[in-house]
Amino acid sequence: MRNSAGAPYNSTSRKLCGSSWMSITEHLDYIPNMGFDAIWISPIVANIDYQTSYGETCHGYWTENISSLNHHFGTPDDLRSLSSVIHARGIYLMVGVVVNRFAGIPSHMGTNISSINDFNLSPFPSSSDFHPLCWIEDYSNQTQAEQCWLGDKILALIDLDTEDPKVVTTMNDWISSLVQDYHINGIRIDTVKHIRKDFWPGFTKAVGVFSIGEVYDKNVSLVKDYTKIIDSVLDYPTFFALIAEFSSIQGNLSALLDVATASQESYKYGTFMTGSFLENHDVPRFQPKTRDLAQGYQGAEDPDNREALWLSGYATANKTLVSHQYLFNSGFLTTPKATQLSKPPLLTLLTNVGQSAIVTWNTTGVLNANQAIVDVLTCSQYVVPSDGTMTMSSSDGSPKVLMPSTVTGQICIHGEN
């Protein structure tokens, strides 16, 4: 998305940048060219509209009124138009949804529960619709994580009383209409671990389409329960392991395997349905952590990790950084420095040795004797010797993605991919 003027944007300013739903429609080639078939947009409802110590609500997470849309992003007709234009291109629409809380109350207005009545929160105008003020101080205390408030004394996020049946019914009815009105194909549910688990089955039923939940925690033991009540979760445990083990040459890929195995065994569908990611708008971008990548967003913590997309020039050359999916529902062969992921007919060889060391993968017994294979990243061709013994190597830390020549089809033609 670019802003209307195509102007430079400094995310540190935390200001609205003029981006809109209609501006997305000006760059629709970018999405399939990156290999994507869906877009996920920020929450769409009306937000508080005043300057806070954490800037303006450029991200859409500070809900004021769930019954109207965020006028900074466009009109209801604009959103319907975005929906129909992308659908015509075969692209799905995923929308961010916040249930857990309403707008931030800036500190100078006080965070006293009674001051909630002074805001125009809709359809929950009264302090009795919210949990009494207490701050989440211990995230491992589940009752506190669910019933106390996120945010801080600078900007409080008012926690909705999702134990109240009236609140539950209102939110379920709201999401059901929203999905239908705008032909939404999926939703990304925010702050899932901050609402009691038995709230979610009714809500996701009302959603009626695919939902993926944000459970921001590195522990498989905590995340696994949510895979049983929501279609999918963002795979934070694997994210933490990927970052730890791939961003440094001291990383241990066996530790990554431990997390992958644990999630395979305890998530409802293994890792088949999880949302894999290497970075997002809440965590530092991956590139500053290593010198081994060619391109990508560079920002550190929020708000620096929210660089404007138009500043990339919509380049599509380096797809792996943002779109690589770790298909962990597959076989592994891992040493601390080199791992082989086997998902026949695909074999992926990964390493964290860095660009100045040589790594070898022993593929004996993984690939068949006499098999002709192609590395689809470089289009290099190999034939497995007749006795089946084979090692592959890399001298610059590059991965390999191997496919049998018989199934690569059009991927590598005349030595190009």
Residues that bind ligand ABC (CB under 6 A): 54, 59, 61, 104, 139, 150-152, 155, 157, 190-191, 214, 216-219, 240, 281-282, 302-303
Q: How far is the CB of 375 from ligand ABC (least distance, A)?
A: 35
Known catalytic residue: 190? Answer: yes
Single out the catalytic residue among 56, 64, 78, 190. 190
How many residues contact Ca ion, by CB under 5 A? 4
Question: Is residue 63 near Ca ion by the rule CB under 5 A?
Answer: no
Q: Which of 56, 64, 129, 159 binds Ca ion (CB under 5 A)?
A: 159
Question: Is residue 78 near Ca ion by the rule CB under 5 A?
Answer: no
When CB distances are held under 5 to 8 angstroms depending on the partner's kind, the choice from ligand ABC, Ca ion, none that residue 23 binds is none
When CB distances are held under 5 to 8 angstroms depending on the partner's kind, the choice from ligand ABC, Ca ion, none that residue 277 binds is none
Site for Ca ion in 93-112 (CB under 5 A): 100
Question: Which range, of 55-63, 76-84, 155-163, 168-176, touches Ca ion by CB under 5 A?
Answer: 155-163
Site string for Ca ion, 255-294 (x = CB under 5 A): ----------------------------------------
Question: Is residue 214 near Ca ion by the rule CB under 5 A?
Answer: no
Closer to ligand ABC by Cβ: residue 219 or 254: 219
Question: Is residue 194 near Ca ion by the rule CB under 5 A?
Answer: yes
Closer to ligand ABC by Cβ: residue 105 or 366: 105
Q: How far is the CB of 166 from ligand ABC (least distance, A)?
A: 23
3-state DSSP of the chain: CCCCCCCCCCHHHCCCCCCCHHHHHHHCCHHHHCCCCEEEECCCEEECCCCECCECCCCCCCEEEEEEECCCCCCHHHHHHHHHHHHHCCCEEEEEECCCEEEEEEHHHCCCHHHHHHCCCECCCCHHHECCCCECCCCCCHHHHHHCEEECCCEEEEEECCCCHHHHHHHHHHHHHHHHHCCCCEEEECCHHHCCHHHHHHHHHHHCCEEEECCCCCCHHHHHHHHHCCCEEECHHHHHHHHHHHCCCCCCHHHHHHHHHHHHHHCEEEECCCECCCCCCCCCCCHHHCCCCCCCCCCCCCCCCCCCHHHHCCCCCCCHHHHCCCCCCCEEEECCCEEEEEECCEEEEEECCCCCCCEEEECECCECCCCEEEECCCCEEEECCCCCCCEEEECCCCCEEEEEHHHHCCCCECCEC
Single out the catalytic residue among 56, 214, 235, 279. 214
When CB distances are held under 5 to 8 angstroms depending on the partner's kind, the choice from ligand ABC, Ca ion, none that residue 157 binds is ligand ABC
Known catalytic residue: 118? Answer: no
When CB distances are held under 5 to 8 angstroms depending on the partner's kind, the choice from ligand ABC, Ca ion, none that residue 159 binds is Ca ion
When CB distances are held under 5 to 8 angstroms depending on the partner's kind, the choice from ligand ABC, Ca ion, none that residue 129 binds is none
Closer to Ca ion by Cβ: residue 2 or 194: 194
Q: How far is the CB of 43 from Ca ion (least distance, A)?
A: 16
Closer to ligand ABC by Cβ: residue 129 or 190: 190
Site for Ca ion in 133-152 (CB under 5 A): 146
Catalytic residue annotation: 190, 214
